[in-house]
Structure 1
Amino acid sequence: MDEMRLLRRLGQEVPPATPEQLAAPRDRLLAAMTAPSAPPMTARRSARRGWRVVLGGVAAAGVAAAVASVVVLAPDPIGGGVPAARADASQVLRHAAAAALRTPDVTPGPDQFIYSRSQEGQATRESWLSVDGTRNGLVREGEGGDGMEAVIPGCRNGRAAMVKGGRVVPGRTEPCSPRPAYRPDLPVDATAMRAYLVEHASGVPGSVNSIGKDVLQLAGGYLRPQSRAALYEAAAAVPGLRAVENVRDGAGRSGIGIAWPSTNGSGEIVLVFHPETYAFLGVSETSAVLVLAVVDEVDQTA
């Protein structure tokens, strides 16, 4: 099961509700998400155009939405914290926020691509997605020539190449909107990120399940360290999360999980973090992103 199917499942689990039913939970979520908290520490990093930076571990977002999968560089272990196996969910997420700020702050150029390699069971996936969404990208599943390969068309001046069977149809275009693999406009502090998650909720307002879907989708995109830290800090304020020890991501790597509540008794989605570095590894028993790099062209790898 890939991330987009997880996201769809999360969305399908949210039952229809009346405005009267939504009022109370929305007020509670707004209160929790907008409560003031200490901002995460900041870091100054220089960004150099043309770097190819290998980073280390987040869950893959779906190819269908043309969202880049991201892996955050695993920093040195963070000293002085509560051991992961005994930490609660908010502690793990705040450690993950601090870890994010220890990664290189690289701003991709608009003409570059986000390369990722992910694993789901025995299946592998590689993708090259346009940073600004205007250039043709590529998705490849399987090993060698035995798998599927499909062009992800870039969007320029409101038109994109028509793709059929994974290949561009010569001379044919269709209307489009760019889907950038990098979001430079996301908030860089926890308070603003909380407000952003509430304002841009894609599901039922006030639903923790819906917020979980949005956090997972954002975590699967390429974020600068400040935005990723803000996302984890905002998630730490969501009620009902639970830390789970001794879980494994889709590649079998062991870590500590953050169990996100689900509805209708269908089970929780567990996001897996490294037990020492707090790098985001993937989704429990489902997926793992192994490599991410900022590259200059399709087919270039880290």
Structure 2
Amino acid sequence: MNASPSQPHPADWPEAQELRSAQERDLPAGRHQFHKERLMAQIHEDLRTTAPEAAAVRRPNPFLRRVVLLPAAAFGLAGAVVAGLALSGGGDGGKALSTRPALTTQLGAVDAKGAPQLLDRISLAAADTSEPTPHQGQFIYIASKVANTYPKTVDDKTTVVSDELHSRQVWQSLDGKDGWLIEAGETSEEGITLAGDNSPSSAYAHLAELPTDPDALLRQIYKESDAVRDHEVPRDQAAFVAIGDLLTESYPPAKLGAALYKAAAKIPGVVAVDDAVDAMGRHGVAVARQNDTDGQRTEWIFDKKTLEFLGEREVQVEADKDGLFKPGTVLFTSAITQRAVVDGNKQEPGEAS
């Protein structure tokens, strides 16, 4: 979808320009793509106490970086995340996951003109929900299945492998300052606490304060994503990923969910994909955007009939410069299996308080 020549590009709105001039210059050199990948990669490695014999360069789990503390105002600086994050209570890190040949998929056909219509239908479906409104003291619970793909080197030979599909459970208080994570291969069976002084962008309290006017909402998305965007990541791609982060491991109010989809429709380059598969093997339609700097496409997957959000994946659509990731390689895949409001931290749906 191309920006209208009669209107300014969303990334050129005054608010975005002001924030870019004030903060982009201060981003540390070499920061990896979006949401402080390098910092999250280090946290990821710190959680693991048993190093495999073969060297592996693992892609940081996108969901791991999403649940840790990204301050609401502008997702925060990396130092603030380190200072405010507590990772404890889980004992030793989880056992290393077994690996398999890299996950691959057939790439669905792209329809640039169909994206606005699809997102409009998804927005209407999101608005027509009757999910309960959480109350003070309750927690948002998200269960999912995830897998990552990464290069692994053994005896100077590098191959691309994927983790086995594994379960993940996240609890988050409404203000986002308390929570719990259990993920195979990332934490012990007991899990780790996720706590800090700053409120993450995915916290329900923050989501409830976001504007539900799509234009105003998109202006804020650009402002916040600009604060952490790597210079090599296109601004429109950063905004698209930011919206995806607010749709996945979170519990957006119905009106906000509808507005997020309408806002996404205004980002140049967003397309519809006729077929995409989530981590559970469920086929659906997708809303996607390609990052032309690395040839990777981020896809949000929806049920073809109900338009319910199923999951997200990142797919290599063009060969990378090193030739490791072939087109069709699934770099990350997820499937939401349960999303609920519970009465306490570490409580699963259906359990007594």
| TM-score calculated relative to the size of structure 2 | 0.54
The correspondence for 2:337, drawn from 284, 290, 295, is: 290
- Please give the per-residue CA displacement for 1:200-225, whole angstroms capped at 9, x wherever unaligned: 33326972111112111221222100
Which ranges in structure 2 are unaligned for 5 or more consecutive residues?
Answer: 14-60, 70-109, 148-164, 314-329
The correspondence for 2:126, drawn from 70, 87, 100, is: 100
Does the C-alpha gap of structure 1 residues 289 and 209 become closer, same or farther in structure 2, counting only changes over 3 Å? Answer: same
- Please give the per-residue CA displacement for 1:98-142, whole angstroms capped at 9, x wherever unaligned: 0111112533122110111000142000111111234x4211123
CA contact under 8 A between 2:11 and 2:236: conserved in structure 1?
Answer: no
- Alignment match, 2:171: 128
Mapped partners of 1:197, 1:142: distance in 2: 32
- Correspondence 1:1-150 to 2 at 5 A: 27-30=8-11, 62-66=63-67, 88-121=114-147, 122-134=165-177, 136-142=178-184, 147=189, 149-150=191-192
Does the C-alpha gap of structure 1 residues 106 and 61 become closer, same or farther in structure 2, counting only changes over 3 Å? Answer: farther
Mapped partners of 1:274, 1:229: distance in 2: 16
- Alignment match, 2:297: 268
The correspondence for 1:240, drawn from 264, 269, 294, is: 269
Task: Please tell me the residue identity of whatever aligns with 1:152.
Answer: L
- Please give the per-residue CA displacement for 1:209-252, whole angstroms capped at 9, x wherever unaligned: 11112111221222100011001001111121221112101111
Q: CA deviation at 1:263?
A: 2.4
CA contact under 8 A between 2:234 and 2:291: conserved in structure 1?
Answer: no
Task: Please tell me the residue identity of whatever aligns with 1:63.
Answer: L
Does the C-alpha gap of structure 1 residues 247 and 215 become closer, same or farther in structure 2, counting only changes over 3 Å? Answer: same
- Alignment match, 1:181: 203
Mapped partners of 1:243, 1:29: distance in 2: 20
Mapped partners of 2:214, 2:176: distance in 1: 27
Number of residue pairs matched by the alignment? 214
- Alignment match, 2:235: 207
Q: Secondary structure at the match of 1:272?
A: strand
Mapped partners of 1:61, 1:93: distance in 2: 23
Mapped partners of 1:218, 1:102: distance in 2: 18
Bigger Cα displacement from structure 2, 115-124 vs 257-266: 257-266
- Please give the per-residue CA displacement for 1:156-194, whole angstroms capped at 9, x wherever unaligned: xxxxxxxxxxxxxxxxxxxx3244731221112222212
Q: CA deviation at 1:27?
A: 4.3
Mapped partners of 1:210, 1:111: distance in 2: 33
Mapped partners of 2:68, 2:261: distance in 1: 19
Q: CA deviation at 1:146?
A: 7.0
Q: CA deviation at 1:95?
A: 0.9
Task: Please tell me the residue identity of whatever aligns with 2:198.
Answer: S
Alignment of 1:195 onto 2:219: yes
Task: Please tell me the residue identity of whatever aligns with 1:253.
Answer: R
- Correspondence 1:157-168 to 2 at 5 A: none
- Alignment match, 2:33: none
Mapped partners of 1:64, 1:210: distance in 2: 15
* Relative contact order higher in (CA < 8 Å, ≥ 6 apart): 1
Indicate the percent of aligned positions where both proteins have the same amino acid: 27
- Alignment match, 1:301: 348
The two structures, once aligned, show a CA RMSD in angstroms of 3.3
CA contact under 8 A between 1:128 and 1:139: conserved in structure 2?
Answer: yes
CA contact under 8 A between 1:111 and 1:132: conserved in structure 2?
Answer: no
| TM-score calculated relative to the size of structure 1 | 0.62
CA contact under 8 A between 1:129 and 1:137: conserved in structure 2?
Answer: yes
Does the C-alpha gap of structure 1 residues 177 and 207 become closer, same or farther in structure 2, counting only changes over 3 Å? Answer: closer
- Alignment match, 2:79: none
Which ranges in structure 1 are unaligned for 5 or more consecutive residues?
Answer: 1-23, 33-59, 69-84, 156-175
- Alignment match, 2:252: 223
Task: Please tell me the residue identity of whatever aligns with 1:189.
Answer: D
Q: CA deviation at 1:30?
A: 4.8
CA contact under 8 A between 1:242 and 1:259: conserved in structure 2?
Answer: yes
Segments ≥4 residues shifted beyond 6 Å: none
Mapped partners of 1:31, 1:278: distance in 2: 32
- Please give the per-residue CA displacement for 1:42-92, whole angstroms capped at 9, x wherever unaligned: xxxxxxxxxxxxxxxxxx962344269xxxxxxxxxxxxxxxx98811111
